[in-house]
Structure formats: structure tokens, C-alpha cells
Structure 1
Amino acid sequence: MILALKAGLDDPLRLRRAESTRRVLSLTLNPDREVDRIHGNGINTIDIEVVEGRYMLSGGADGVIVIYDLENYSGKLHYTCKSVCTVGRSNRYVHKFSVETVQWYPYDTGMFVSSSFDKTMKVWDTETLKPAEVFEFEGNVYSHHLSPIARKHSLIAVGTKDPKIHLCDLKSGSRIQVLQGHRAEILSVRWSPRYEHILATASADSKVKVWDVRRASGCLFSLDQHNGDKSKAASEAVNTAHNGRVNGLCFTGDGLYLLTTGTDDRMRLWNSATGENTLVNYGKVSNGNRKKLQFAVSRGCGPEFVFVPCESSVAVYAVHTGELVSTLRGHYNNVDCCELHPDYQELYTGGKDCNILAWIPVLRSPDVEDEPKSANQAAGAPSSVNQAFQDAWSSDED
């Protein structure tokens, strides 16, 4: 395979996709990598910046925000990802209550944004650890999100206890727009990674709405788990995405599909352009979280995988078939958030046990043949995932 690549017979994208898939399928808790234990209460949210892939943010139920350096400069196999700086309880600008969401500014590491149950969202200067801007709201803030691709706007979507979605402009420092249509608190908001004006919102009213923020006429559509079949929806509310609170949203890397999670213990995959429920069956996905659930989707793999906190473990599913590929166990209490490293297919998870755990791909043994099937079978993937893995090497692709 390597010889074929060197000779120009294989597309390098195929190697990258196959290796990314192998790494995701071989994730295991790494005993040689630890993350500083700073939080005195549960960890609600983490985020890794995409500019260098070096720094990670965390926010906890104690109101504390921590920045970690993920790089290993010790020269030793065993090392700890150290805390670089902390917005702790002694900081005059610290959030008074639980931090629900943290996110790096997508284009440089000089700024990040946090939101909290103290009814504020703060835009921080990383150098000074002081807020450059503070947005205040009437209710608890459950979620916020900055678009990872936007060039024509600098909007932050914010979900609060108020059923309205607030759009805040980073440039002007003001709230410029409100989206109305939900009937309960907004638990999660997410911009499309494909179209910068498309926004998805999830609410405790069991609904998921998709918006084009340039339009003043309301949402584009509400997701309907029954795809318009009124006979199936007879005993339930019309146009509900779940039969419970919808607390998780995540687009696939290409933005073509949207995954949602709800307190009905279900996860669903939707066509983000049409709103159609693809009817992929993931089985029971335990979810008792009444706030936002942060889960993650792999990128650059064939097939794609989703990592979902399920009580004290993380379940790994094949996105388009619904197969449970593996279960990652290591936390002592419920897991509330997980984040994939943008470059290395490493997974970081945070939970109510106050720990952040690092899940790292197992290195391939030198005596194992360089065949994707061997690596995949060693990871214990189901047969159809094995087949999809082989498809990543199909000469007809790319």
C-alpha cells in the first residue's frame, strides 16, 4: 500500500481516510496521558481550538474556566496536560454559577466565549483573562455557538430559559435579532458547517427548528420524526423531533446531516437540507440530562462515527447504519461532554466526576500487515463497518 502510494497509484486522500478510520476505531483510555484535575465540581463543556490544535477549554458547574496545553514538551511517554491559566473563584470576573458552554473564537486563540447559569455570556481576551464584552439575559444561558465558517457575519447564537433564540453581534457588542417559534427553553444551538446563515436549535418543547437567519419570516422547517405521517403522530404533538426534551445537536462534518439527542433515550439522523428523518435506528441511547448534552462526530473517516455520552460511558456509533461500534468506559460518574481533537482523532471527555479523560488511538504493531482490514478487525468493529472501512480503499472512490 505504501509502495503504491509512493508510485502515485493510490490517492493520498484514501490513505488519510483509512488511517483516520483506523485511529477512531482503536481509541482507548491512555494511561500515559492525564489532564490536570482543576475543577471542584462536574465538567459541563470542553472545546479544542482548531488553529493550532494545542489548547483546550473547559467549563464546570463550579463556574470555573480552565485553559490546558495539550502538547507534550517533557520528552517522556507519560505526561500531564497542564493547566495554563484558570478563571477561578478568586477572579473578579468569574461566572457566579455553572458554566454551560465554552468555545474558542474559530479564527485565532486570542479570544473565547463562555455562557453560564448566571444569565450572562462573556467574550474573553485570552491574554488578560478579562471580559472584552458581557451580554446579559433574563434567564439562564444553556448554550451558545459561533459559526466555524462565517465570513459575512459575526453572530453568536444563544439559547436561554427564554423560548427566544438571541443573536448577538461580536462586532457591535449588541443583540441584533431574536428568533421566535419555540415554546420552552432553548437547550442547544448549532450553526451549519456548510452554510454560514443556517442555524439549528433544540428545545425542551420536543422540537428542533432550522433557520436561515437572513429571513424575517420564521424558521425554514421543524423536524418531524414521523416525516409527515399523521397516522403515526396521532397520539403525539405534530412536528416533534423527539418525545422528550431535545438537548443535543451536532452536524456531520460536511453539514449534510444533523444528529439530535433527546430525553426519550433516542438519537436521530436528519437530512439537513430537507428535514427528513433518515430513520436510522441507534437503539436506546440513555440520556437523562436535562441540560445540554455535548457530543461529537468524526471527520475525514469512512464511515463517519458519533461519540455520545451515555451515563458513565461514551457510546460510539456508525452514523449512517446505527451500529454500536464500541463503548468507552473510564469515568466514575455521568459523562456530560466530549470533544474530538481536530487533527489527531483523539477524544477528550468530561463528566460529573470532575475528570477530563484522554482517549488515544492504539499504535499499530510493527508486525501487523499494513492492511486496513486487520486494523479494523482488531478494533472489534461490526462486519458492516468492516465493509465500509474496506470501501474507503475502493479504487472507484475519490
Structure 2
Amino acid sequence: MLWNFGIKDTPTFIKGIGAGGSITGLKFNLLNTNQFFISSMEGTTRLQDFKGNILRVFTSSNSCNIWFCSLDVSAKSRVVITGDNVGNVILLNMDGEELWNFRMHKKKVTHVALNPCCDWLLATASVDQTVKIWDLRQLKGKSSFLYSLPHKHPVSAACFSSDGAQLLTTDQKNEIRVYSASQWDCPQSLILHPHRHFQHLTPIKATWHPRYNLIVVGRYPDPNFKSCSPCELRTVDVFDGSSGKMMCHLYDSGYSGIISLNEFNPMGDTLASAMGYHILIWSPKEAGP
């Protein structure tokens, strides 16, 4: 199937706080679609609306040396979870009450993800080159993980599929892995893909389509990558989640930056792609031949 996408002409713009306030995680509030949760480098995890009003601050480091790198939310259990740059993960309820705070990794926690079907199951990713899976009902400390999944390089993301049966991980060089619930400690498949990381680049994170077994990830062409071709474009790549086969590319000639983050709406018919100062909103058009 060939997908054609167009870019929304009038995107919503929400002004940030400026230098030092980079957004590291964003989740829509499923209980109120006019609100969203944010983690950021200015040291907070918070809930705010589309007018920029801060409705609740869940975590605040009060220090320029500690910031929050990731977050996830469970509407079902009404909890917020966030990870920081020194390896801590904090769980809070929707009223902002801290339920627990553990150091789960030796280094920065780049991603936290609750399983959408069993939200007591948590995946955490870190620059310590591991992804860990935890049972929140049996959490006793940093050694109480169910599985530790070693990677060759620092890991930028680990996210569950919509049915909770698969886990998708993205390292900071050229590997995307798919794990299955039937065998968490061994990858089901591996996709080689150029998405190398530099210090001042938002880490590229692969994500799932919410309704189909598809993987979406931004491409950062690497001349040292085996299949790199001359003048390769900085596309958004779509892979079949079962076979790892490339399905299509998304590209707009007016915006040629590196796309680091991709987020679908719950229906899966609109895709937001973040690149530098811009967010592209892709919506489906009539399929081509």
C-alpha cells in the first residue's frame, strides 16, 4: 500500500520557555483532550493546556543539574511516571502525590513506557546500554527488574505495541529491535537503520502505529552506513513490524531537517513529526496507484 500524506497548513503553536527548556516527553491527557503532560530539561514534569497555562507540576528538581528526560501516563490507573538524567524513575498519582522514587539505572533514563494492556508492566531505557522490564506490583529496588535487555549502544527508546505483546527499542546508532512477550530476553527481529545520535540532536525514537503492526522512525543518513546512497533524504521511514520490510518513506521538500520524534493520534490517521523548531502534521490523502 502506498501512503500519501499532506501537511496541515495551520498548525497550532504553543510558545515554550526558551533556551534550556527543551521538551523531552509529551503525552496527551486522554481524560481531557485540551491538556497534555510534558517532561523537560528545565527540571519539571507538568500538566498544561494548549494556551500554555500550567495546571499542575508533578516533579520539580529545583536544580540545573537534574532534569526529566521521559514520561508516560496511565489514564486507567491515573498515574504519571517520569525518568531523570541521573537514573531515577518517579511514579505519581494524578493529584501530584509521589508514590515511589527509585534509582533504576546507572545513567540517564531516556524513556519510560507503561504497557497499555497491563499498566503494572513498565519498560525503561537508558544510556547505560540497557532496557529493563519491571513489574510495578513487585518493585523493591533497582535489582527487582524482571528482565534486563543489553544493547551495544546507549538506548533512546523502548515502547510497547498497542496490544502490549511487543516491545520496540531504538539505540543511538543504527539498530531497531523488536521483542516479543513470549521471550522478552531475546529480540524477535532486528532492523538496521541510520539514526545516529549527536549531543545537540534530540535522540531519534522509533514508534508504533496504534492500529497496525507498523514501525515509524526518522532517518539520519550516514555515509558509513552500508546501504547509504548519494544524496539520501532525511525521511520518515515506515517498516512492517513483522518482517522488518520497508513499506514507504514520508518526505516534504519544504522541510529537510532531521525528524527525531513521531507521534500518532489514537486513531492512527494523523502523524506529528518533530524536527528542530518545526512540527509537521501529516494527514492521509487518497491513496496513489
TM-score (norm 2): 0.82
- Any residues of structure 2 matched to 1:6-85 within 5 Å, and which? 25-30=1-6, 33-34=7-8, 80-83=9-12
- Distance, in Å, in 2 between the alignment partners of 1:176 and 1:344 is 32
1:180 match:
103
Local SS of the residue matching 1:254:
coil
1:261 has 2:187 as partner:
no
Q: CA deviation at 1:258?
A: 0.3
Per-residue CA deviation, residues 71-100 of structure 1 (Å, 9 max, x unaligned), is: xxxxxxxxx3342x63445xxxx8952122
- Distance, in Å, in 2 between the alignment partners of 1:163 and 1:341 is 29
Alignment equivalent of 2:249, drawn from 321, 327, 333: 327
1:282 has 2:258 as partner:
no
Alignment equivalent of 2:206, drawn from 281, 295, 315: 295
Higher relative contact order (CA 8 A, sep 6+): 1
Which one-letter code corresponds to 2:126 in the other structure?
S
1:208 has 2:124 as partner:
no
1:220 has 2:146 as partner:
yes
Q: How many percent of aligned residue pairs carry the same amino acid? A: 20
- Distance, in Å, in 2 between the alignment partners of 1:165 and 1:273 is 26
Change (3 A) 1:299 1:322: same
Q: CA deviation at 1:338?
A: 1.0
Per-residue CA deviation, residues 38-83 of structure 1 (Å, 9 max, x unaligned), is: xxxxxxxxxxxxxxxxxxxxxxxxxxxxxxxxxxxxxxxxxx3342
Paired residues of 1:124 and 1:131 also in contact (CA < 8 A): yes
Between structures 1 and 2, the one with greater helix share: 1
Change (3 A) 1:322 1:27: same
1:86 match:
14
1:117 has 2:41 as partner:
yes
Gaps of 5+ in 2: 221-233
Paired residues of 1:259 and 1:268 also in contact (CA < 8 A): yes
Q: CA deviation at 1:199?
A: 0.8
Q: Superposition RMSD on alpha carbons, in Å?
A: 2.5
Between structures 1 and 2, the one with greater strand share: 2
Gaps of 5+ in 1: 1-24, 35-79, 224-239, 366-377, 379-398
Change (3 A) 1:364 1:284: closer
Local SS of the residue matching 1:214:
helix
Change (3 A) 1:286 1:82: closer
Which entry has the higher C-alpha Rg, 1 or 2? Answer: 1
Paired residues of 1:316 and 1:325 also in contact (CA < 8 A): yes
Paired residues of 2:41 and 2:69 also in contact (CA < 8 A): yes
- How many residue pairs get aligned? The number is 266
Q: CA deviation at 1:205?
A: 0.4
